[in-house]
Amino acid sequence: MLCPICQSKNISFFAYKNEYEFHRCKACKVIFLHKLPPSKKLNEYYAKHFSYRDGLANEKIIRKRGTIILHKIKKIVPTATTICDVGSGHGFFLDEAKKKKYDTIGIEPSVLLAKITGKKYRVLVCAMDLQDYTKTNPGQFDVVTCIHVIEHVKKPKKFISDLLTLVKPGGILYIETPNSDSHLLYAEREHYTFLIPPEHLWIFSWKSIKTMLPHNVHIKCIQTYSYSEHFMGILKRIIKKKNDIINPTGINVKQITESRPSTFKKQISYFFFDRLIAPFLTGVLNLYHKGSVLELYVEKISNKSGL
């Protein structure tokens, strides 16, 4: 077996999840689904059945992230006026961009989501996949964003190429995706938060995405970010692993010999550690690009890909 991204033979089994088998390339650190679902099945699912409930539940978080991304884009391309969001979902990012006076357009394969978003925020959202859009709309944008989408597509290298056809020379392509070279993944392994087949077909590292980029681009910025719950998740995994080593029987001796802490004590502990200490320490996870979520700001130099 060869890595579908970098063609390395250095492949190993990673995990089983919901009857799906994931493998990992030790060279570029990508994690990939061993047998990809048929394209017809995936297209039908996203067009007719995908509702993205998690996105709706996390509106505040998505909007906050959107303002951070837009602030960074403003620094990199201060003259940008047009933004295309590929996989626009519920439209929260488009709405934030519109508030900042950008001319916006969304591309969303879910007919239902496209219809709701367009009507609610009065923005243009095209209910089609990226490949169909690039065939019928040759226009280009100052900024193209792709936020938690690339891990869903069967042909990510072709997908990046299609994304870049929408970017003007001198413009920016922004990609955000779970990070396969993160502390969170190493701690959670088969219980990894973003291991969600068959929706997530891939988990990328910055190295694996860099491998797929054509020659007509320049990486302006690579960075990662994490949430405090990711820090807490890692800490809990470490503590559990340590307890399993000390007490392999699985019997919680402390719980047997001592009474459980009161609800009040639990609330105090939660407030001071989860709410105050964990957010302060979470930034440590992002050092050396080891944070939970990967961000790349890629500048398009010319229209010639060099592939």
Report yes or no on 84 lying in a domain: no
Report yes or no on 236 lying in a domain: yes
- The model's pLDDT over 231-286, given as tens digits with 9 standing for 90+, comes to 888 887 887 776 666 555 455 545 544 444 566 666 666 666 666 777 778 889 99
Report yes or no on 297 lying in a domain: no
Report yes or no on 71 lying in a domain: no
Look at residue 264 in the predicted model and tell me its pLDDT: 64
Look at residue 85 in the predicted model and tell me its pLDDT: 98
Look at residue 102 in the predicted model and tell me its pLDDT: 98
- Ranges of the chain with pLDDT below 70: 46-53, 242-275, 306-307
Look at residue 153 in the predicted model and tell me its pLDDT: 94
Question: String of b and e for 118-155 (b: at least 16 CB within 10 Å)?
Answer: beebebebbbbbbeebbeeeeebbbbbbbbbbbbbbbe
19 CB contacts (<8 Å, ≥6 apart)? none
Report yes or no on 207 lying in a domain: yes
Look at residue 253 in the predicted model and tell me its pLDDT: 44
Alpha-carbon distance of 153 to 201, in angstroms, equals 7
Report yes or no on 243 lying in a domain: yes
Look at residue 47 in the predicted model and tell me its pLDDT: 66
Q: How many domains in the chain?
A: 1
Structural domain including 242 reads 1-35+177-215+222-292
Report yes or no on 78 lying in a domain: no
